Structures are given as structure tokens and as C-alpha cells.
Amino acid sequence: MEKYVINGGNKLYGSVDVQTAKNSVLPLLAATVLTDEKVKILSIPDITDVKNMIKILSRLGCRTVFDGCNLIIDSSCADCYEIPSELAHELRSSLFLLGSVISRFHMAKIAYPGGCDIGLRPVDLHLTGLKRLGVDITEENGYIICKCDKLRGNEIMLDCPSVGATENIMLAAVKAEGTTVIKNAAREPEIEDLQKLLNCMGAKVRGAGSGTVVIEGVNELNGCEFLPIPDRIEAGTFLIAAAMCGGEVELTRVCAENLSSLLHKLRENGCKIHVNNDKIVLENHRRLTSVKSVETQPYPGFPTDLQAQITTLCCICRGQSIITENLFETRFKYVPELRKMGADITVINRNAFVRGVERFKGATVVAHDLRGGAALVTAALAADGMSSVLDISHIDRGYGAFEYKIRKLGGDIVRVSV
């Protein structure tokens, strides 16, 4: 087990490159199962979620090899349709493979990701969509068993715009017979990225980024080389850290359009932000003013994956804020840890009521999840004194070379074995 030890109070200056998007790379890797030809994904982020996805691909029989930071996947020898429980539980996003494995083998067997019950909406939306394509689904000893003689296109209306369900249906439908129309589809940039890869492989997909995605089935897909989009959540985390600590930080290889909801809030806080092509510069040299409210929403609304970070920023701004989490019920687990650092936060149902304090104080805190853990690191960077952030394996799931990038900007952070 490892922890971060952070001496807070340093302003941040300098430039860092943004990694390719975790939330894009994982479904892109799942898509490589659909072809017998080699697919090369460029600039793979060095994060544990990707490493676990590669383990799953290897278990399916795929061959993977790194060419520098690029990954070549050869699925021509794939011969297994089962994703075992130990790997499914390591990677919550293993469910992304369901659509592509069904398309490849007309059969799939996967343990419930994270031990979730099948009746829960996140899993149910995936399975309901697959049933509409002709998949028979049963439950057996903690596994989801999927079988079909043939995948057939159909119209699918999602009860809510789930990113994972939209991607899974796209992956299952690209080689289905006929046309599939997904209505109330998720609009996230990662959906568009998956469409671009699939079309590069010879698929016929259109409409990604809108509420309706249309997939015309094709007989086979080819290999290709593909560069995923930059990680808007990593970029947002560094922008918020710079806003909290003060200084001037430049992010390179970033898409400002995908961060428009965050940039609007940071300008409302009082940050100076300059955008030039694929670069964003944030400058701040004073205590900021709280935004009155933030509500998480599906894209293009404010992302739930930046909710913990923006709440942490509001904790040390002048004034009061109300943060509303509309997507996930348990996304305030980090709040008791921020209180250890002096934050004044009251959580009632899906709302966090934040009263700004002058500064955080160093403390020992525990990361309970990926984004909450990253928020605790930003709090420690802005705090007076020394902090320890425990259970950083959660953070490693989504942030590659996190402490290296922070040190490059002048933050005092080290990784320590405990």
C-alpha cells in the first residue's frame, strides 16, 4: 500500500501535457475485439484501469504489445468469451466488453462488475439494450450469461442517457444485421471518439454527440491506428488545482470545448483563463469567490467526475455554494475527509452546502474513490502544513504520473510505501 505525503502552500507554475482520456481508451480497447486485424491505440495512459483492461484482453486470447507508449492489439487469436470475476471486480468498466464479446462470439459470460445486482439501473440499461438486439440473458452463480444466434438491428430508447450503455450497444450493433437506432443516447465526447474509431475500422456509425446514434451493420471490420482524445477530467483536475493553489499553469494537448462547463465556473470564480488552440492557461493570484451553485448533469452539463474537485475549490473561496449531485448517490464520500482539513460542508441528500474558509489545514485523509481522492490531493496542495493521502491506489486508476506532473508544476508531493 502507498500514500502521498504533501507539503502544501506552494503556488503552481509551468506546463504539463494532458494524457489521453481514460473514459475513451477503455471502450476503444473493447472495440479492438471486433476485428481480426491489428489495431494500434496511440499514447496509452499509464493507469491501472488500462492495465486491468489489457489483462482482460489477454485472458480473451488477444495479443498485446507496447511500442513505446502506443499499444498494438491483435485479436485474431481471441478464443474466449468469459470475463472472470477476479478481473471484472478489479475493473468496473469491464462491462464495456460485453457488447464487443457478444458481437465476436455470439456469447458472453461476465461477473457482475463490482458485485452489482442485475436490477440496478447501471447494469439494467446495458442488458435491456442488448435484449433489443436479440440477446438472451440469464443469471447464473453471480454471472451474466448472454447468448444469441444472430444480432439484429433495432430501435432502442434508453431510459436515461447512460454513457456505458450507449457504448455497449454501439459495440454490439456495428456487425449486427440491419440498422440500430439509439435514442436518448449519451452525448459525451468519448461517445464521439468511439464512433471515430469504429468508422476508422470500417463501421457505419453516425450521430454520436447528439441524442440519436444510428449504426448500420457491416459484415467485418479492419484494423487501424488511432489517437484518442485528451482526458478532460485530468485537465479539469489540474485547472482546479491551479485555481486553489494560485500561480499560472498551462495545459497542452487539451480540448477547451469539452471543458466549457468547467471553464465557465472557473471564470465565475475569478480565474483568468486563456485558450489558444489545444492549450489552456489558467492564472490566479488571489483568493477566489465562490460560485453560487453547481449541478452535475450529463454532457454538456457539469461533469460528475469533477464534482469533488469543484466542491473542494469552493471550500476555500469567499462566500457560500450549493453543490448538487444529480447522477450518483454516493459521490460525497470525500466530504468527511475534507472536514478533517477544516472544510465547512453540510451534506443533505444530494446537496452539499459549502461555507468558504480561509485555508485548509494539513491532515491525514483517506481516498475512498478515484475522483474524491484526486480532490483530496488538490486540497493538500493548497493547505497549510503537511498532509498524507492514504489508499492512493484509487487515484492510480485514472491519473498517470500524477505526482510527477504535480512536482513539475512546483508542488511538494512524494509517494511513500506504508
Name the residue type at position 311: T
Which one of the listed residues 62, 69, 80, 116 is annotated catalytic? Answer: 116
Q: How far apart are CA 370 and CA 7, in angstroms?
A: 21
Active site residue 116: yes
Could you tell me the CA-to-CA distances from 216 to 153, 178, 193, 331, 357 in Å, in that order? 8, 6, 17, 37, 55
Could you tell me the CA-to-CA distances from 140 to 111, 112, 116, 193 in Å, in that order? 9, 11, 14, 34
Task: Assess contact for 226 and 42: CB atoms under 8 A.
Answer: yes
HSE of 284, CA atoms in CB hemisphere, 13 A: 25
Task: Assess contact for 205 and 159: CB atoms under 8 A.
Answer: no
- Residues carrying an active site annotation: 116
